[in-house]
Chain A
Amino acid sequence: MIVPLDLVIFAVLIVTAILALQVRDLLTAVALLAGYSLFAALLFAGVLAVDVALVEAALGAGLTGVLFIAAILATTRRTDASKNRRRTVVAGVSVAAFVGLLLFASGGLPDRGDPQAPAQQGVSQTYLANSLADTQTPNVVTSLLADYRSQDTLGETMVIVTAALAATLILARREDEGDVAGEGDER
């Protein structure tokens, strides 16, 4: 963890997130989101959460971009500008209030890496101390995900497969079904 680098990454994250919301061209927004994920992966790697960084880089910066682009090609590339002034004001105020609340609450959090933090006190001590003897696995993250907390992982896997199945069933078209979205001249 290098504080100046972290500050730069945070600035880049905020700028790319705001830009991704602002641009009209959705392909640009996808590229910005991929950049956001890449810098988030750097941030995770900076706090030595290498497993999370790897997933963020592979999924966030890589595959989601491809899926988003496929979705854009199947739908439309440009968004209309929001003309509703009142909605913008309400959204801006509530976002600012929420950010303020989070910043206020973060003052009560323990410091990053504090050994006295509540999260370091409970069952995690046992996991860290016994992981190698229990499972012969040097990477504690893996033994946590696939052994100590494997029911959570089973639930996540179920969610992913179910979500993909549901999306496929919604989007799939039968052979005899025409294209409703005005692209009939393509076939």
Chain B
Amino acid sequence: MMTGSYPSEVVRVVCALLSPFILLFGIYVIAHGHYGPGGGFAGGVFVAVGVILPRLTLQEELAFKLVPTALGPVAAGVGLLLFLLIGTVPLLTGGAFLDYGAVEVAGVEPARMRYLGILVVEVAVGLAVSGAMLMLFDVLVARRTR
């Protein structure tokens, strides 16, 4: 049995307490890629770990009710779509594909637009990576437990 409530109460309590903070750290790493190490890939992995840890230790119904299995493919697809959409936005204003600086918004300089574009791309990559990891984990354990 891969998923399901873990026999040791210490492990269960510690994982239940830690996983929200791992999730939060993942979001921090995604959002903080501009200033420190990390970004979408590393942050997405941390988010996936924060979701997978309850699945390994908590009761199965509870863990899968917290984050349903369907969320993996949805997050991966939404992330990839978001990346593609943000790439096509500059095309409408005459820029090149993925050239966020070409988007003109009154009062925002091009460098700031690129800064914001990077943020959206990091969020998109984070969604796609965490969704893909969650999808892989779910299909691997579903073979065994169902």
Contacts and interface: CB of A to CB of B under 8 A. Distances in A.
Whether chains A and B associate is yes
Interface of A: 50-51, 53-55, 58-59, 62-63, 66-67, 69-71, 73-74, 133-139, 141-143, 145-147, 150-151, 153-154, 157-158, 160-161, 163-165, 167-168, 171-173, 187
The B interface, classified by DSSP as helix, strand, loop or mixed, is helix
**Which secondary structure dominates chain A's binding surface?**
helix
- Chain B interface residue bracket vs A: 35 or more
Given A58-B49, A63-B48, A157-B128, A139 B87 contact: no
Q: Which A-B residue pairs are the 4 nearest by beta carbons?
A: A164-B132, A50-B37, A70-B140, A146-B118
Interface string B123-146: 011001101110111111111101
A171 B125 contact: no
A115 to B, nearest CB: 23
Contacts of A141: 37, 39
B73 interface: yes
Interface in B66-81: 73, 76-77, 79-80
27 contacts: A54-B42, A58-B42, A63-B48, A70-B140, A70-B141, A70-B144, A74-B143, A133-B111, A136-B111, A139-B33, A139-B34, A139-B35, A141-B37, A145-B39, A150-B98, A151-B97, A153-B125, A157-B79, A161-B76, A163-B132, A165-B73, A165-B76, A167-B136, A167-B139, A168-B139, A171-B139, A187-B146
